[in-house]
């Protein structure tokens, strides 16, 4: 339906023009994170590098700040700093995706870029259904839809989405998030030799499989890849109940490590660990770039979690994506660190060595601003140490527990918390602030807190507090941000 596709593109462009002024004038607009040109942004999709160019696709609804019939937005970059907004790769224009071209992934084969995504039918005018669909491009910009390649197998509900495809020893493989008829989340494995004809192997992991009992009613956005001699399965399970400091958001994102048996299709794995301890993180996707790095980008949001309370909705946009992060394995831990290219945004460094605070709260000269990077190295910690950001959010460390707090988005008079108990004492913090976001990398990336923050726009002060005596050094950079041009 070329006519419908063109109509949707024109409507989206008109929506961008209509809201451009309010989006660009928003005091919470981000300077070095992906945010939508208008409307709603959610899951990163099709994250890949091809012939030296990074391609980042994303779930996008141009017409309002709620969820609905998603497009695939599309941005490209040579260096992760200078980006180009391309024409949307996919629109919900066909019978099989008319209610949304939902999340998926990208691979390269025969010098063509192949997209695999979920075509959504919401059930308003027929049965609710989700199919796995394909599209292909020879130039990486213009895509031709190939239609449905996989339909839902027997024994599963219509919650069947988010295909991730990879190549292994001469074959292509795909995992898809699914829900059994008794409302249990699983990940299903498929195999193909040609990216067109797919064989269902079976469930690779999920509730009541392997070591797990009930573990969520739906597993979204699966991603499976090798890392340092082990297989890592990232997944976003829905339906986990809070458990102490764990599973505090409405839905979680985390990972299992183990071994995928490609013959049987079974994934033998250990315990689940959350990838991020902040308020807003979901649906991450990884890829291996041409340097051999495993790079992750996540959605800086959580579905069904106070989305309507974000103040940016008044200016016709909501949500963003995280920084690109390199994943490594060190001392039995999955580590996350910001991609090294981001250092190109730094201005001159401000360095303070061996600052000591004892039973006091104080500012540190020059350590302020709303588009900055901080690096703290601790020599000594008192009974409690805390940073206060802009009279709004606080990060505190006490008795091995790191806590991030902020006002509730829907009820500002109340405070909400996210916590983690560190396996090692706190020794370093690397903090990225971007107007209305925080990304905090703890102890070299053994834990991460990602969150949106909405303090008063003019507030730039950061305060440091110690109960007892704390000594630390701090580096601070103003960040120039990155560029986004129209293709």
Q: Which residues are catalytic?
A: 43
> Do 370 and 433 form a contact (C-beta atoms < 8 A)?
yes
| Structure tokens given for 382 | 């008192």
Cα–Cα distance, 402 to 431 (Å, whole number) = 14
* Cα of 265 vs its chain's centroid, Å: 27
The H or E element that residue 336 is part of is strand 333-338
Helix (H, G, I), strand (E, B) or coil at 17: helix
> Do 384 and 396 form a contact (C-beta atoms < 8 A)?
yes
Please name every residue paired with 406 in a beta bridge, in sequence order, or none if there are none: 416
Cα–Cα distance, 464 to 388 (Å, whole number) = 6
Cα–Cα distance, 370 to 429 (Å, whole number) = 17
What counts of helices (H) and strands (E) characterise the chain?
A: 1, 33
> Do 103 and 116 form a contact (C-beta atoms < 8 A)?
no
Q: In what order do the strands lie in the sheet with 282-288?
A: 282-288, 294-299, 325-330, 333-338
Please name every residue paired with 75 in a beta bridge, in sequence order, or none if there are none: 56, 85
**DSSP state at residue 125:** S
Helix (H, G, I), strand (E, B) or coil at 483: strand
> Do 162 and 220 form a contact (C-beta atoms < 8 A)?
yes
Helix (H, G, I), strand (E, B) or coil at 155: coil
| Alpha-carbon radius of gyration of the chain | 22
How many CB atoms are located within 10 Å of the residue 468 CB?
Answer: 13
Cα–Cα distance, 463 to 455 (Å, whole number) = 14
- The CA–CA distances, whole Å, from 200 to 148, 149, 181, 192, 264 equal 15, 12, 17, 9, 11
* Torsion angle in degrees (nearest 10) through CA of 165, 167, 170, 172: 0
């Amino acid at each position: 339906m070329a006519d419908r596709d063109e109509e949707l593109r024109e409507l989206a462009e008109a929506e961008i023009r209509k809201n451009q002024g309010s989006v660009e004038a928003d005091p919470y607009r981000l300077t070095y994170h992906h945010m939508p040109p208008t409307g709603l942004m959610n899951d990163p999709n099709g994250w890949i590098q091809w012939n030296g160019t990074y391609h980042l696709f994303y779930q996008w609804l141009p017409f309002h700040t709620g969820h609905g019939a998603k497009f695939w937005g599309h941005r490209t970059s040579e260096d992760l700093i200078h980006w180009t907004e391309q024409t949307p790769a996919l629109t919900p224009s066909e019978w099989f995706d008319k209610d949304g071209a939902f999340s998926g992934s990208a691979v390269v084969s025969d010098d063509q870029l192949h997209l695999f995504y979920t075509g959504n039918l919401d059930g308003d005018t027929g049965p609710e259904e989700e199919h796995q669909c394909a599209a292909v491009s020879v130039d990486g910009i213009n895509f031709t839809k190939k239609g449905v390649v996989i339909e839902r197998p027997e024994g599963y509900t219509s919650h069947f989405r988010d295909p991730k495809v990879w190549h292994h020893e001469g074959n292509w493989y795909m995992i898809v998030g699914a829900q059994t008829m008794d409302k249990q989340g699983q990940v299903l494995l498929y195999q193909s030799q040609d990216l067109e004809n797919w064989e269902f192997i079976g469930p690779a992991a999920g509730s009541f499989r392997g070591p797990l009992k009930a573990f969520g009613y739906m597993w979204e956005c699966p991603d499976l890849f090798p890392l340092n001699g082990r297989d890592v399965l990232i997944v976003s399970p829905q339906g986990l109940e809070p458990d102490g400091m764990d599973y505090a958001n409405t839905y979680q994102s985390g990972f299992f490590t183990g071994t995928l048996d490609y013959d049987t299709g079974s994934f033998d794995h250990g315990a689940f660990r959350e990838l991020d301890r902040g308020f807003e993180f979901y649906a991450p996707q990884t890829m291996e770039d041409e340097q051999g790095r495993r790079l992750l980008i996540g959605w800086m949001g959580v579905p069904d979690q106070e989305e309507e309370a974000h103040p940016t909705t008044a200016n016709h946009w909501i949500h963003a994506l995280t920084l690109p992060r390199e994943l490594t394995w060190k001392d039995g831990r999955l580590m996350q660190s910001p991609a090294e290219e981001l250092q190109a945004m730094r201005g001159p460094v401000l360095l303070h060595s061996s600052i000591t605070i004892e039973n006091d709260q104080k500012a540190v000269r020059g350590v302020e601003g709303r588009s900055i990077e901080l690096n703290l190295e601790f020599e000594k910690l008192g009974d409690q140490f805390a940073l206060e950001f802009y009279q709004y959010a606080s990060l505190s460390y006490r008795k091995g527990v790191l806590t991030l707090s902020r006002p509730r988005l829907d009820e500002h008079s109340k405070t909400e918390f996210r916590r983690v108990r560190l396996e090692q004492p706190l020794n370093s913090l690397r903090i990225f602030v971007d107007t209305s976001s925080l990304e905090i990398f703890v102890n070299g990336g053994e834990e991460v807190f990602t969150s949106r923050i909405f303090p008063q726009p003019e507030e730039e002060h950061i305060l440091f507090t110690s109960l007892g005596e704390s000594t630390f050094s701090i580096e601070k950079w103003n960040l120039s941000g990155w560029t986004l041009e129209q293709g």
